[in-house]
Each structure stands twice: as C-alpha cells, then as structure tokens.
Amino acid sequence: MDTMNYKASRGMNIHARRIISYVVLVILTVLCLIWFYILMINATRSHGELTRGFTPFPSTHLVENLHNVMHGTLPIAAGMRNSIFVSVCCAILCTYFSTMTAYAVHVYDFKLKKFMATFILAVMMIPTQVTALGFLRLIDRIGMDDSLTPLIIPSIASPIVYFYMKQYMESNLPSSLIEAARIDGSNEFKTFNWICVPLMKPAIAVQAIFTFVSTWNNYFTPALVLHTDTKKTLPVLIAQLRSADFLKFDMGQVYAMIAFSIFPVIVVYLLLSKYIVGGVTAGGVKG
C-alpha cells in the first residue's frame, strides 16, 4: 500500500513539474514572439497611424510601405544583395577555416600548441572598437576602402567560432578515427573534408547561423568602411532611413524595411535548423 501511494505521489509530482515546464515555455515563447508580432503590425500601418499609438490589429498600408521603401531614394535592393553576399561569404569562410584551425590544434602535436590555443583565446578578448582605427588605416593603404572585401576577409579568423569547434571536437572527434584514416592512406586534406566536416555538421550549422545573423545585423564596421549608397548593407541603409529629416521621415517605411530585412535570417535558420535537431538527437542516441 505504501509502495502504491509512493508511486502515485511521484507520478503526480512529475505531472505537476511537466505542467510548470510547459507554462514557463509558453510564457517565454510569447515574450520572444510578441516583439516580432508588434513589428509585423507596425509594418502594416502608416506614419500617421503610428503617431496615434499602438494597436494590436493590422492595418492596410503594408504594400504601400514596401512600395515606398523599394522605390525611394535609397537603393534597398542593392543593400539586400550586399547584405546577403557578405553574410553568406562570412558564414562559409568563418565556419570552414575556424573548423580547420580547431582541427589542427586538436589533432596535431607541436611545440607551440598550448601557446597558440591560449593566444587565439586572448584575441577573443579584444573588442572590435579598439582595432577599428588601425583597421581603417590598413584598408585605406591597400586600396580596399568603400569595398565589401574588408567586411568578408576578417571573418576568416574568428576566435569564438574556433573555441566552439574545438570544444565540440574534443567530445565528438576521437583521435583513433583520424589515425584509422591515415592508416588507410587518406591524406590530411581529404581526412578533414570527408571525415571531420561531416561529423561537425551540427556545430557548423549552429555557428553558420550565428555568424550569418551577426554579420547581417552588423552596423559598426560597414558604416565606417562603406561610403557609396549602392555598396552599403541593409543596417546602414536602415539607419539612413531613420535619420531622414522631418519632412521625409516615415516610421511606416522604417518598420516595413526592418520586417523586410528579417526574412533572409528566418530562411537561413529554417534551412540549417534540421542539422541542429539531428545533431542533438544523434548525441542523445550515442549517450
């Protein structure tokens, strides 16, 4: 009888904890999505309607706002192309070369191995703003000012992505697997591309999403480097649209442009999220 009562009380406790977990998850989901909902609602309203306060119901000015944004004085289509090009290049180069660096530090044994690992992590502590002046002088001397290239090349060296990849390799890439590939006659480049990279897909997908989003939202560096409107990225153009004078300022266009700029990020997440879920499931099965 006592055993039955214990099992019943334990089942009730588990059920109660599950209900609490679901309630907390629902609240967190609402808090995360409500701002996106407000953005979508405001994108459908005119400037006059926005000045009268917030309403939870959409209006009928979305097409008008998008038309005004696309046919305004700023080259929004060119900004979208520039942002997509820079973000995709940075995501690919950053994840590939950071994974390669982590692979070299993880697999090979050399004298300065610990020093290099520590040095890379130390670089991670240096803010971008500290090196901005020297970076601008460098790209000006080599003739890369007002170009997209300086936004892409520095992404190859990413200490944060390297650190994440290195930690992932320590638990998912055994040295015995690399040794077996070498015994079978596989060269190092082939081993990395055909053995390491497939095993690292979940980690690569996570970092590709983070790198894409951070590059997409980056305003500081593009604002310093890019000067021609047709070469600027979307965050810079959005800032220009917000800083328009009183007669040209239209908050409806600003919200429509921000909403327009979010969709590529959503698409990238939907394309790569299956690798993240698959990696988590595979890790649970192995465990």
Per-residue burial over 90-108, b if 16 or more Cβ lie within 10 Å, else e, is bbbbbbbbbbbbbbebbbe
Beta-carbon contacts of residue 47 (< 8 Å; ≥ 6 apart): 249, 250, 251, 252, 253
- Residue 208: both structure tokens together: 């590709």
Beta-carbon contacts of residue 83 (< 8 Å; ≥ 6 apart): 216, 233, 234, 235, 261, 264
Nearest to 68 by CA among 223, 249, 234: 249
| pLDDT score at 9 | 61
Task: Enumerate the domain spans of the chain.
Answer: 2-43, 63-286
What CA–CA distance (Å, rounded) separates 10 from 1? 14
Q: Max Cα separation, the chain?
A: 85
| pLDDT score at 81 | 92
Question: Could you list the pLDDT tens digit for every one of the 287 residues in the chain?
Answer: 556 555 556 666 777 888 888 999 999 989 988 988 888 899 999 888 888 888 888 888 888 888 888 887 888 889 999 999 999 999 999 999 999 999 988 888 888 888 888 888 888 888 878 888 888 999 999 988 899 999 999 888 888 899 889 888 888 888 888 888 888 888 888 889 888 898 888 888 888 888 998 999 999 999 999 999 899 999 998 888 877 655 567 788 888 888 888 888 888 878 877 776 654 444 444 44
What CA–CA distance (Å, rounded) separates 273 from 286? 20
Q: Taking phi first (over 0 means left), then psi (-120 to 50 degrees means alpha), and beta for anything else, what does residue 109 get?
A: beta
Q: Are 43 and 255 in contact (CB under 8 A)?
A: yes
Q: Are 152 and 93 in contact (CB under 8 A)?
A: yes
Please tell me what DSSP assigns to residue 207: H
The CB density around residue 257, as the number of other CB atoms within 10 Å, is 25
What CA–CA distance (Å, rounded) separates 24 from 180? 47
CATH-assigned architecture of domain 63-286 = Orthogonal Bundle (1.10)
| pLDDT score at 10 | 62
Q: What pTM does this model have? A: 0.82
- Angle between helix 113-123 and 159-172 (nearest 10): 130
What CA–CA distance (Å, rounded) separates 94 from 98? 6
| pLDDT score at 248 | 66
